[in-house]
A and B are shown apart, each in its own frame.
Chain A
Amino acid sequence: MPLKNTCIVSGAQTKFGKLDGVTLREMFTEAVDKATVGAGIDKKDIQAAFIGTFIPEMLIHQGHTAPLLLDYAGLKGLPATRHEAACASGATALRAAIMAIESGFYDTVLVAGAEKMTSVSTNRVTEALAAAADDEFESSLGLTFPGVFAIAAVAHMEKYGTTEEDMARVAVKAHDNASTNPLAQFQKPVSLEKAMTPRYVAWPLKLFDCSPISDGAAAMVLTSTEKAKEYTDLPIKVVGTGQASASMNLSDRGELTSFEATVSAGRRAYDMAGLGPKDMDFAVVHDCFTIAEIIASEDLGFFEPGQGAAAVKDGITARDGDKPINPMGGLKAVGHPVGATGVKQAVVVYKELMGDAGPNQVDKNETGIVHNFGGTGATCVVNIMRRADA
């Protein structure tokens, strides 16, 4: 049965990138203010907050972020819980909020995510991100986060003939889309030749295959169908949600060319919504690495296994293609402040559905799907959203 009660009535993000001189609570507050008072929603209406942050303990020596951030944003006193699922922290916060509204427990809640990553060295960030993998049996070998996706890429290349150039095309598309997104970290197109620059991070993944280290925050307000009328004539409905987990360790997975948590979370979301891959007008997927977008496009059923790379090459996933993927530039070019990402992705779907995506607007925008992925696919959340008039 499709969800009945959950509506999105606002969504916003800060600029993503190296935000010098802006601390975690300041960027969080900027996003919250844009999504509340900036959208005509009184902060007094918010009854609870669901917050995504990944690893501020290692990055800025700060735990217990939910009350800290709420206090600064003028929401002191509300029930506030931090959700952590590595890069899927934001979407697990969103899903908890969806369940809270759907159950009737709350009418109006805030979902927000933030991460401050650029105030420490790249090595320190690499080490912190590795905490999203199995520390005792993967990270202890010196296996990094890009390394795990590189292992998946090598398996995909071997099985389906995917090439380094195919992956580079995902980066070129991301940069093209982000070039008209004023909130993106990178706003310049890159050529295929440049994306192929052989600066290896974890062979065969090169610098341009990897999402950057970023600061940023995103926020949205969810409310019940009944209350939504007070805020807007056209709420966005959440019609399906799915979440799944898988083994942390890649060695414990049967398949390296597909992520089972994506397949499973996707199936649950589709079943709940009563919709299928063909009904999705566009998609926002977790492209932490270029290969991740290719595999997600297959795992979510848009293309047959092994056909994801060809779809990019043929322009099917371009903003003006038949199945636009990451029309505002994805993690790859917009940036990836880990705890903010899952919320930001949902904000992108919201904006596209509202017809509010400016030069990044997709043509068909009745139904959109968002896929957020934690670690190396050990957590996956998929949500399907629809315009109320669709």
Chain B
Amino acid sequence: MSEKPTIEQYKQNIEEGDFQAYKCVGCGTIKAIPTGSCYSCGGNEMEWARVSGKGNLVSFTVIHVAPEEFQDEAPYIVAIVELEEGTRVSARLVGFDPLKPEEIKLSIPLRLEYEKGSSGRTYLSFRPV
């Protein structure tokens, strides 16, 4: 893919269940969250990159007090996931009981999927492998 990535398209891709990351044309560094300049080399030319969808759990929280838009979904888990490609992303974590957070172990392997919330949004989400 040679088209220049945009945030609008990035969000649309998630909405359609087709997540794609940003990749620096100059040095090949992949970044899961859109950026205007590469953290590694400072380059400002980006392209799309498909990722394996494999990652592991870095940290998480269970949201009990939620903003109005998400209230019907609470309690829900938001996590930081490190992808196999060495870049991190914030996402929902599914496949666990949000009321038993002590059962969730950090570093466990996860796989990318998508979750349609009652807020109407589609979230990037991860589930244990």
Contact = CB atoms under 8 A, between A and B. Distances in A.
Interface of A: 122-124, 126-127, 130, 136-144, 146-148, 150-152, 154-155, 158, 200-205, 249-252, 256
Contact of B61 (A126, A136, A202, A252): A202
B11 A136 contact: yes
A143 B78 contact: yes
Contacts of A144: 63, 65-67
A143 B63 contact: yes
Nearest to A152: B59
Contact of B64 (A200, A252, A256): A200
Given A148-B61, A158-B106, 19 more contacts: A130-B67, A136-B7, A141-B78, A142-B67, A142-B74, A142-B92, A143-B78, A144-B63, A151-B61, A154-B61, A154-B106, A201-B64, A202-B65, A203-B61, A203-B62, A205-B61, A249-B33, A256-B58, A256-B59
A131 to B, nearest CB: 10
Given A142-B119, A202-B65, A203-B101, A151 B71 contact: no
Contacts of A202: 61-65
Interface string B103-129: 000100000000001010101100000
A205 B65 CA distance: 11
Nearest to A148: B61
Contacts of B66: 126, 142, 144
Contacts, number: 104
Interface string B26-44: 0000001110000100000
Pick from B34, B61, B69, B70 the residue with the most CB of A within 10 Å. Answer: B61
13 contacts: A123-B67, A136-B7, A136-B11, A138-B90, A140-B121, A141-B91, A142-B70, A144-B63, A147-B78, A154-B60, A154-B106, A202-B62, A204-B61
B61 to A, nearest CB: 4
B123 A141 contact: yes
A151 B80 contact: yes
Contacts of B88: 251-252
B13 to A, nearest CB: 13
B84 to A, nearest CB: 15
B24 to A, nearest CB: 14
B51 interface: no
B68 interface: yes
B119 to A, nearest CB: 7
Contacts of A148: 61
B48 interface: no
Contacts of A124: 68
B80 A251 contact: yes
Nearest to B89: A251
B73 interface: yes
B76 interface: yes
B8 to A, nearest CB: 10
Contacts of A130: 67
Contact of B32 (A150, A152, A158, A251): A251
B98 to A, nearest CB: 8
**Which of B32, B34, B62 has the largest number of chain A CB atoms within 10 A?**
B62
Contacts of A155: 58-59, 106
Contacts of B64: 200-203
Contacts of B79: 151
B67 A127 contact: yes
Nearest to A144: B63
A201 B70 CA distance: 14
Given A147-B63, A252-B33, A141 B92 contact: yes
A74 to B, nearest CB: 39
Contacts of A123: 67-68, 71
A127 B11 contact: no
Nearest to B104: A154
B65 A126 contact: yes
Nearest to B68: A123
Nearest to A139: B67
Contacts of A142: 63, 66-67, 69-70, 73-74, 76, 78, 92, 117, 119, 123
